[in-house]
Structure 1
Amino acid sequence: MAGLLAQAPAADGLVQGRTELEWLKHLIKCHDKEIPELEELNAYYEGKQPLSYMHPELQRELDENVRQVVINWPRLVIDSIEERLDVEGFRYPGKTEADAELWRIWQANDLDEQSQMGHLDALAMKRAYAVVGENDQDPTTPIVTVESALDMYAEEDPRTRRLIAAVKRWCVGDGADKVDHATLYLPDSTIWWVKADGEWAEDPDYPRDDHNMGELPVEILANRPRLKGRGGVSELADVIPISDAACKVATDMMISAEFHAMPRRVAFGFGDEDFVDADGRRLSVWSRVAGRIWATAKSRKEDGADVIQFPEANLANFHSTLNQLAQLVASMAGLPPAFFGQSTANPASADAIRSSETRLVKRAERKQRAWGGTWERVMRKVLRVRDGEWSDDARALETIWRDASTPTVAQSADAAVKLFTAKIVPLRPTRERLGFSQAEIGRMEELDEQAANDAVARIAGGDVLPLFGAKPAPDDPQPSPGPGDPPEAVPAGSASGHAA
Structure 2
Amino acid sequence: MERTELEWLEHLIACHDKEKADLKRLDSYYEGTQPLSYMAPELQRELEETVRQVVINWPRLVVDAIEERLDVEGFRFPGHAEADQELWRIWQANDLDEQSQQGHLDALTMKRAYVVVGSNEADETTPLVSVESALDMFAEHDPRTRKIAAAVKRWCEGEGKDEVEHATLYLPDVTIWWLQQDGIWVEDPDFPRDEHDMGEVPVEVLANRPRLKYRNGISELADVIPLSDAACKIATDMMVSAEYHATPRRVAFGFGEEDFVDEQGNKLSAFSRIIGRMWATSKSSQDGADVKQFPEADLKNFHSTLGQLAQLVASLTGMPPHFLGQSTANPASADAIRSSEARLVKRAERKQRAWGGTWERVMRLVMRVRDGEWTDEARSLETIWRDASTPTVAQAADAAVKLYTAKIVPLRTTRERLQFSQAEIARMEEQDEEAAQQLMQRIADGDVTPLFGRKPGDPPDDPEGLDDEEPPEAQRGNAA
TM over 0.5: yes
Contact 2:12–2:139 (8 Å) recurs in 1: yes
User: How do 1:32-431 residues align onto structure 2 when only pairs under 5 Å count?
Assistant: 32-267=17-252, 289=276, 306-431=290-415
TM-superposed CA distance for 1:164, in Å, is 1.0
Partner of 2:421: 437
Contact 2:259–2:280 (8 Å) recurs in 1: no
Shift in CA distance, 48/446, structure 1 to aligned 2, threshold 3 Å: same
Shift in CA distance, 460/474, structure 1 to aligned 2, threshold 3 Å: closer
TM-superposed CA distance for 1:473, in Å, is 7.0
TM-superposed CA distance for 1:464, in Å, is 2.4
Partner of 1:27: 12
Q: Deviations over 1:394-418 (max 9, x none)?
A: 0100000000000000000000000
Q: Which moved more, 1:239-248 or 1:460-469?
A: 460-469
Contact 2:114–2:204 (8 Å) recurs in 1: yes
Distance in structure 2 (CA, Å) of the matches to 1:87 and 1:138: 24
Distance in structure 2 (CA, Å) of the matches to 1:288 and 1:391: 73
Distance in structure 2 (CA, Å) of the matches to 1:357 and 1:42: 26
Question: Which amino acid is the alignment partner of residue 437 of structure 2?
Answer: N
SS in 2 for 1:442: helix
Question: Which amino acid is the alignment partner of residue 82 of structure 1?
Answer: E
SS in 2 for 1:166: strand
Q: Which moved more, 1:57-66 or 1:94-103?
A: 57-66
Aligned residues: 456
Question: Which amino acid is the alignment partner of residue 59 of structure 1?
Answer: Q
TM-superposed CA distance for 1:346, in Å, is 0.9
Report the structure, 1 or 2, having the larger helix content: 2
SS in 1 for 2:227: helix
Shift in CA distance, 118/298, structure 1 to aligned 2, threshold 3 Å: closer
Shift in CA distance, 58/295, structure 1 to aligned 2, threshold 3 Å: closer
Partner of 1:9: none
TM-superposed CA distance for 1:155, in Å, is 0.7
SS in 2 for 1:147: strand
Q: Which moved more, 1:258-267 or 1:69-78?
A: 258-267
> Normalized against structure 1, the TM-score is what?
0.86
Partner of 1:453: 437
TM-superposed CA distance for 1:308, in Å, is 2.3
SS in 1 for 2:150: strand
Distance in structure 1 (CA, Å) of the matches to 2:60 and 2:158: 31
Shift in CA distance, 203/475, structure 1 to aligned 2, threshold 3 Å: closer
TM-superposed CA distance for 1:475, in Å, is 9.0
Shift in CA distance, 472/46, structure 1 to aligned 2, threshold 3 Å: farther
Q: Between Structure 1 and Structure 2, whose CA radius of gyration is higher? A: 1
TM-superposed CA distance for 1:469, in Å, is 3.8
Partner of 1:481: none
Distance in structure 1 (CA, Å) of the matches to 2:277 and 2:433: 77
Query: Structure 1 stretches of 5 or more lacking a match?
Result: 1-15, 477-500
Shift in CA distance, 349/290, structure 1 to aligned 2, threshold 3 Å: farther
Contact 1:135–1:142 (8 Å) recurs in 2: yes
SS in 2 for 1:399: strand
TM-superposed CA distance for 1:468, in Å, is 3.1
Distance in structure 1 (CA, Å) of the matches to 2:149 and 2:217: 17
Distance in structure 2 (CA, Å) of the matches to 1:364 and 1:88: 15
Shift in CA distance, 32/297, structure 1 to aligned 2, threshold 3 Å: closer
Query: Structure 2 stretches of 5 or more lacking a match?
Result: 461-480
Question: Which amino acid is the alignment partner of residue 379 of structure 2?
Answer: R
Distance in structure 1 (CA, Å) of the matches to 2:265 and 2:439: 94
Contact 1:273–1:282 (8 Å) recurs in 2: no
Distance in structure 1 (CA, Å) of the matches to 2:273 and 2:450: 86
SS in 2 for 1:90: strand
Distance in structure 2 (CA, Å) of the matches to 1:397 and 1:405: 23
Contact 2:62–2:317 (8 Å) recurs in 1: yes
Q: Deviations over 1:51-98 (max 9, x none)?
A: 101111221222112101111000000000000000000000011100
Question: Which amino acid is the alignment partner of residue 383 of structure 2?
Answer: T
Q: Deviations over 1:313-360 (max 9, x none)?
A: 110110000000011111111100101111101110000000000000
Root-mean-square deviation (CA, aligned residues, Å) is: 2.5
Shift in CA distance, 449/282, structure 1 to aligned 2, threshold 3 Å: same
Partner of 1:482: none
Shift in CA distance, 366/421, structure 1 to aligned 2, threshold 3 Å: same
Distance in structure 2 (CA, Å) of the matches to 1:345 and 1:237: 32
SS in 2 for 1:308: strand
Question: Which amino acid is the alignment partner of residue 381 of structure 1?
Answer: L
Partner of 1:498: none
Choose from 435, 439, 448 the match for 1:464. Answer: 448
Distance in structure 2 (CA, Å) of the matches to 1:475 and 1:354: 53
Distance in structure 2 (CA, Å) of the matches to 1:82 and 1:274: 56
Contact 2:260–2:267 (8 Å) recurs in 1: no
Distance in structure 2 (CA, Å) of the matches to 1:183 and 1:298: 76
TM-superposed CA distance for 1:470, in Å, is 5.1
Question: Which amino acid is the alignment partner of residue 248 of structure 1?
Answer: K
